[in-house]
Amino acid sequence: MTAGDPTRRGTATVGPLSAFARSAAAALRPADPIAAALTTSAMASSFSNGVFYAVSALFFTKVVGLSVGQVGVGLTVAGAVAIAASFAAGRVADRVGAPAVLVATTATQGLALLAYPVASAVTTFTLAACLAVASRAAQGTARAAVLAQAFTGADRVLVRAHLGVVINVFMGVGSVCGGFALLTDTDAGYTLAILGAGIFVLTSVWPLLAIRAELAARRPPGDDVIASLPPPPAGRSPLKDRTYLMVSALNMLLAMHAGLLTVGVPLWITEHTSAPPITVTLVLLLNTAAVVVIQTPVARRAHGIHTSARAVHVGGFSLAAACLIYSASAGAPTTIAVILLLGAVILHTFGEVAADVGNWGLAFDLAPTSAAGAYQGINQASVAAGAMLAPLVVTGTALTLGTTGWLVLAAVFAAAGATTLLAVRTLPTAAAH
């Protein structure tokens, strides 16, 4: 129940200030209470994730004493558990309420991070990793269910896009802060960084406590969707919704774009091109800045089933074009290679934003509100599955086969985007539940 843009306070003209700063500032000051609570929580939790990602590899190997292989196996198992957790969280959210699940999973993740320093054996590390990774995945489901219940139409995608801006900005800030631990390069520094990450996640629980009451208070008269929290358990099952399952499966393939950027592109740059290693940092910074700038404008244009599907279609082809340019950078002189890589990451960023925004729209519009948790659980499970598959697929194609592998990836992205458009072509514009 919102009026206009729930995340915008005003439209004052700021002259030639950068789009980056304007987008970030707008996202940090939502007027809607639920959007504000989610945003404040996202600031703390994404800052924590940035710190964690910056130091985790060295912490696990140098401080905990695990081998790279043991860390890899533990995180792979955790990734598989996260897929199940994403789906299960949706079912639970439909029964006990999405806000309660969001609070519980966020607190669980914080406690799991605090357990890492004492997880000195492979078994205890894997258990802690399963708890941390699975609870983070379940948070995504619960957050999406809250958005599905609290907002309507294009507002849901727009609020989700603003949250994406916040997450990117504060994850970047957290990564920079985590870099101080890397500079000290001491066991104490790494341990303090991990403990700090856990504490920040726990503090992110506080803003979420007000969501349940606010969600109930905004219920319009006679509305039987949010009339009772939790909703009745006999909602429509997404497992019987072939269109939703197909769209989610295709999203799993497109969701590999994240692993492509964080795993494939850095290794491609350092091992297969003449570009200097600093190019990896430039590529990641350019991606973060571009996401902040374009995510909200793209989200404003993607509303409705067919518009969202077209966004996914365009995103798939943009990702495919980026793959072809990444491939071309291998045989190029240093300057040309850097230019090609920076151009490719621009296409990559536009593709990931368009695909993600389109997926959010389809995930919301194709799902009945009475079973929001279960449906969002399926969609979030597809994201978790894509994240788990990405390192294996990317290393087995682009990094192993070179040009041929990049062509395979390009074909996968393009086909997934095009097939998504075909999957909803017969649905009426008003097919959203």
Question: Last residue of some domain: 217, 247, 279?
Answer: 217
Write down the pLDDT at residue 219.
60
The answer to whether residues 286 and 347 belong to one domain is yes
Q: How many domains does the chain have?
A: 2
Question: Last residue of some domain: 184, 217, 250?
Answer: 217
Is the pLDDT at 250 greater than 50, yes or no?
A: yes
User: Is there a domain that residue 8 lies in?
Assistant: no
Amino acid present at 362: L
* Percent of the chain whose predicted confidence (pLDDT) is above 70: 88
The answer to whether residues 204 and 286 belong to one domain is no
Q: 13 pLDDT band (50/70/90 cuts)?
A: very low
Write down the pLDDT at residue 67.
85
Whole-angstrom distance, CA of residue 114 vs CA of residue 59: 13
The answer to whether residues 209 and 272 belong to one domain is no
User: Is there a domain that residue 230 lies in?
Assistant: no
Write down the pLDDT at residue 23.
56
User: Is there a domain that residue 123 lies in?
Assistant: yes
> Which domain, by its residues, includes 329?
238-423
User: Is there a domain that residue 134 lies in?
Assistant: yes
The more confident residue out of 65 and 325 is 325
User: Is there a domain that residue 431 lies in?
Assistant: no
User: Is there a domain that residue 267 lies in?
Assistant: yes
**pTM assigned to the model:** 0.79
Question: Is the Cα torsion angle 43, 193, 381, 92 positive or negative in sign?
Answer: negative
User: Is there a domain that residue 22 lies in?
Assistant: no
Q: 341 pLDDT band (50/70/90 cuts)?
A: very high
Q: 6 pLDDT band (50/70/90 cuts)?
A: very low
Q: Please spell the DSSP secondary structure of 105-145, one letter per residue.
A: HHHHHHHHHHHGGG--SHHHHHHHHHHHHHHHHHHHHHHHH
Question: Last residue of some domain: 187, 217, 247?
Answer: 217
The answer to whether residues 133 and 274 belong to one domain is no
The answer to whether residues 392 and 351 belong to one domain is yes
The answer to whether residues 259 and 207 belong to one domain is no
What distance lies between CA 201 and its chain's CA centroid? 16
The answer to whether residues 203 and 294 belong to one domain is no
The answer to whether residues 397 and 347 belong to one domain is yes
The answer to whether residues 54 and 142 belong to one domain is yes
Whole-angstrom distance, CA of residue 12 vs CA of residue 19: 14
User: Is there a domain that residue 111 lies in?
Assistant: yes
Question: Is the Cα torsion angle 21, 23, 29, 34 positive or negative in sign?
Answer: negative
Write down the pLDDT at residue 11.
41
The answer to whether residues 419 and 310 belong to one domain is yes
The answer to whether residues 208 and 69 belong to one domain is yes
Write down the pLDDT at residue 236.
65
Determine the straight-line distance between the first and last CA of the chain, rounded to whole angstroms.
Answer: 16
The answer to whether residues 211 and 351 belong to one domain is no
Between vectors from CA 5 to CA 42 and to CA 173, what angle results, nearest 5°? 25
Write down the pLDDT at residue 413.
97
* Percent of the chain whose predicted confidence (pLDDT) is above 90: 48
Is the pLDDT at 232 greater than 80, yes or no?
A: no
Q: Any idea which of 4-13, 106-115, 220-229, 287-296 has the lowest mean pLDDT? A: 220-229
Nearest to 116 by CA among 29, 162, 55, 184: 55
Convert the pLDDT of each residue in 183-213 to its tens digit: 888 899 989 999 999 999 999 999 999 998 8
**CATH number of 54's domain:** 1.20.1250.20
The answer to whether the CB of 296 falls within 8 A of the CB of 162 is yes
Write down the pLDDT at residue 15.
47
What distance lies between CA 37 and its chain's CA centroid? 18
